[in-house]
Structure 1
Amino acid sequence: MAFIIGLLIMIAGICYAVFVLKKSKTKAQEIQFQQTTCIKDVLDIVGDLSSLDENYRHYSEVKGHLHSVSGDVEAPFSQRPVAYYENEVFSVHEETRTERDDKGNTRTITDKVETSLSSEKSPVEVYLSDSSSDEKVYIDMASFGADVDLMPGCNRMESADSNWVRDNFNFSFSNPRGSRFLGYRFFEEILPENQPMYILGEIHKRGNRLYVGRSVTTKKPSHVTYKSEEELLDDVKNEKFVALAIAVGSVIAGIAVMFLFS
């Protein structure tokens, strides 16, 4: 049994590393070899918007400055003017439990536990603009899912009797038995107004607007970020290093299980 468990640990680690390395290689190639386009270049590629088929999608690398449609979005927690934000509120508890070992000895363990109370994403649409054209490229943020890099906006704790919490929120939840309520954690990430952006995705038409969204026809890497191409490539290198470290660690752990428990 120990041999099988050890072998499974090794296989899982190696498979994970192979998956990440393959994905990272594809992403790095697209970043390096995909030609970056301004909005005018995008329009030259897709042609006249009025005659563009809505089913047509063109994979592209687009740069521009980020804006919200309204131009007056404020991040609720940091209270900063932004183009886009995402936030989440957690209740924070301290839970105590008792564990007993094989010899009957007991010990008390205290854990800090967070429970999500609410989350929100900016409801106002955002778009890219640049000096090459008066046309805008709207961003389908929802389609990119987790492949959106955001900047830190707010990460603060507030006590249970905080006036700010009482004046701005109406939370209702039950305190679990055996736990002590510590307060609330407010977490927020943002993208400032007029922030330079880099996007990998598919250009397509929706109504009379031009959008960029997740790649669905080519299954190529998709990304929305405020980082430069060089920073993205550094991130890819770090992902490869972590994947290799996990693979090596899983092999060592698997061998240890085989020998120690056989």
Structure 2
Amino acid sequence: MNMLAIGVGGLLVAGGAYLSFVQKKKTEGKITELKFMRPLSLAEFSDTWKSLADEGLGDSFRDMVATHGKAETDGELKAPYSETPCAYFEATVIREFEKEERKRDEDGNMRVTTRRSSETISSRKSPSPLYIADGDVRVAVDMDGASLYLRDGEDRFEPFDSKKTYSFFGVQFTAPASGGTLGFRYKESIIPLGHPLYVVGEGRKSGGALRIGKPSEAGKPFIVSTRSAEEVIENLKGSAKGTFYLGIALMVIGAAVAAFMH
């Protein structure tokens, strides 16, 4: 009996079961919470905190909030590739290359195939703080740990020029001696300046100001989105369905591996 096949099959079945039932249930829990969470304007959110602060309870204020506003930041921020005015960006440089793979066929002959691949060689996130604003109320958003729904920015490919010196975000790039570099893909995702934002997270006082950040209770949603609440919920529904079917597929494959490769 092939114990390795049984072990691999068992791991696939276990992983599939986790995706189909545990992970799907977690996602569905977030969907339910978002559906029944009452949206709060930034003015209402700020007034609630001020009322508690007047009673000496402002420092201990922590509450889940879903709110809307417009994206702002400090100073003038532009996306690095498109130079679009924005409140937040994530930019990456991806090296696309070809590499040879050598394999012996069934007759013992060496076969050489060329495979195209890619790797991220540099990335950067905007250093400026993000705010959600409405009227004269502006609240900082601590981005760490958030599920982000960003807008697509620049996405372009530049062929590699061996005579050119490349530097990405201040770090010089040296092409691998093995060669094969086809070029670089520059991609960015952004929150345009002034774009409507939907934010769900934990409101609290931090650094002397009101902020929204990652909930202290595990499993609670933390979302920063350029899409509407309805679009986020539909996206999560699709994710839950995809996770379920992927899990089922893994369980079927795992059972087949364990049954037919022993």
TM-score by length of 2: 0.87
- Runs in 1 of length 4+ with deviation above 4 angstroms? 48-52, 162-171
Q: What does 1:64-213 correspond to in 2, within 5 Å? A: 64-70=69-75, 72-131=76-135, 134-141=136-143, 143-145=144-146, 147-161=147-161, 172-213=172-213
TM-aligned CA deviation for residue 218 of structure 1: 5.9
Deviations 1:172-198 (A, max 9, x none): 344334431212211111011111111
Residue identity over aligned pairs, in percent, reads 28
SS of structure 2 residue aligned to 1:54: helix
Residue number in structure 2 paired with 1:16: 19
The 1-side partners of 2:212 and 2:34 are apart by 16
1:47 aligns with 2:50: yes
Aligned residues: 257
The 2-side partners of 1:96 and 1:36 are apart by 55
SS of structure 1 residue aligned to 2:211: strand
SS of structure 2 residue aligned to 1:37: coil
Instruction: Give the 3 Å change call, closer, same or farther, for CA 79–163 of structure 1 in structure 2.
Output: farther
Instruction: Give the 3 Å change call, closer, same or farther, for CA 69–172 of structure 1 in structure 2.
Output: closer
TM-score by length of 1: 0.87
Instruction: Indicate if the aligned counterparts of 1:96 and 1:178 stay in contact, CA closer than 8 A.
Output: no
Deviations 1:43-102 (A, max 9, x none): 2322255755434321111111111122x2111101111111110112322111211134
The 2-side partners of 1:253 and 1:104 are apart by 30
Gaps of 5+ in 1: none
Residue number in structure 1 paired with 2:35: 32
> Aligned AA for 2:160?
A
> What is the Cα-based RMSD across aligned positions, in Å?
2.6
SS of structure 1 residue aligned to 2:69: strand
Instruction: Indicate if the aligned counterparts of 1:65 and 1:129 stay in contact, CA closer than 8 A.
Output: yes
TM-aligned CA deviation for residue 14 of structure 1: 0.9
> Aligned AA for 2:13?
M
1:257 aligns with 2:261: no
Instruction: Indicate if the aligned counterparts of 2:133 and 2:139 stay in contact, CA closer than 8 A.
Output: yes
Name which of structure 1's ranges 224-233 and 163-172 shifts more when overlaid on structure 2.
Answer: 163-172
Gaps of 5+ in 2: none
